A and B are shown apart, each in its own frame.
Chain A
Amino acid sequence: GAVVSQHPSWVICKSGTSVKIECRSLDFQATTMFWYRQFPKQSLMLMATSNEGSKATYEQGVEKDKFLINHASLTLSTLTVTSAHPEDSSFYICSARDPAGGPSLGYTFGSGTRLTVV
Chain B
Amino acid sequence: AQSVAQPEDQVNVAEGNPLTVKCTYSVSGNPYLFWYVQYPNRGLQFLLKYITGDNLVKGSYGFEAEFNKSQTSFHLKKPSALVSDSALYFCAVRDGGDNKLTFGGGTRVLVKP
Contacts and interface: CB of A to CB of B under 8 A. Distances in A.
A109 B44 contact: yes
Nearest to B106: A43
B46 A43 contact: no
A42 B99 contact: no
A49 B94 CA distance: 14
B37 to A, nearest CB: 11
Contacts of A54: none
A44 B99 CA distance: 16
A49 B102 CA distance: 12
Interface string A40-72: 011110100100000000000000000000000
A93 B43 contact: yes
A110 B106 contact: no
Given A93-B43, A104-B49, A114-B41, A46 B105 contact: no
A6 B42 CA distance: 11
Q: Size band of the A side of the interface?
A: 20 to 34
* Interface SS majority for chain B: strand
Contact of B103 (A44, A91, A105, A110): A44
Contacts of A112: 41-43
Contacts of B45: 109
Contact of B49 (A42, A103, A114): A103
A111 B36 CA distance: 13
A49 B75 CA distance: 28
B46 A91 contact: no
A49 B99 contact: yes
B43 A111 contact: yes
B43 A6 contact: yes
Interface of A: 4, 6, 9-10, 32, 34, 41-44, 46, 49, 91, 93, 95, 97, 103-105, 107-112, 114
Interface of B: 32, 34, 36, 41-46, 49, 51, 90, 94, 99-106, 108
